[in-house]
């Protein structure tokens, strides 16, 4: 149980393109979903937390107009990187959690490369 699917796993696109990443909880209802960014050989950096039906809460320094997060249902959250540039290239990972006492379960990540 507790499977989180993240899609796509790899995307390469031109500078200026917008890219949408999907995160789905397959066998549980995710009250809260999280989006992280991971730089090479570093830990995960939390970008934002989203609760179903509410606006996402962004961490300090994360541009909400750049990284649009939608959590429209209890099983789906999306992250859209708008007008992506090479500095946005990174490994993006989502996680989902059911109730408060449960651990976060992670997707397999999306490697984004902006040319």
Partner 1 sequence: AQSVAQPEDQVNVAEGNPLTVKCTYSVSGNPYLFWYVQYPNRGLQFLLKYITGDNLVKGSYGFEAEFNKSQTSFHLKKPSALVSDSALYFCAVRDSPRDDKIIFGKGTRLHILP
Q: Binding to partner 1 by residue 49, rule CB under 8 A?
A: yes
Query: How far apart are alpha carbons 95 and 25 in whole angstroms?
Result: 9
Write the binding mask 9 to 38 for partner 1: x where contact by CB under 8 A, - elsewhere: -----------------------x-x----
Query: How far apart are alpha carbons 75 and 113 in whole angstroms?
Result: 26
Q: Binding to partner 1 by residue 62, rule CB under 8 A?
A: no
Q: Output phi, psi for 75, to 5 deg.
A: -130, 5
Tokens for 113?
A: 């490369």
Q: Binding to partner 1 by residue 2, rule CB under 8 A?
A: yes
Q: Are 2 and 27 in contact (CB under 8 A)?
A: yes
Under rule CB under 8 A, how many of the chain's residues touch partner 1? 24
Binding site for partner 1 (CB under 8 A): 2, 4, 6, 32, 34, 42-44, 46, 49, 91, 93-95, 100-101, 103-109, 111
């Amino acid at each position: 149980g507790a499977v989180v699917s993240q899609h796509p796993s790899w995307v390469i696109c031109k500078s200026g393109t917008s890219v949408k990443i999907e995160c789905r909880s397959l066998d549980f209802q995710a009250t809260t979903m999280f989006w992280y960014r991971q730089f090479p050989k570093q830990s995960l950096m939390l970008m934002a937390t989203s609760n179903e039906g509410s606006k996402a809460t962004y961490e300090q320094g994360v541009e909400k107009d750049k990284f649009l997060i939608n959590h429209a249902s209890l099983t789906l959250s999306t992250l859209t990187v708008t007008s992506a540039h090479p500095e946005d290239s990174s490994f993006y990972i989502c996680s989902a959690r059911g109730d408060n006492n449960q651990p976060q379960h992670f997707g397999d990540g999306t490697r984004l490369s902006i040319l």
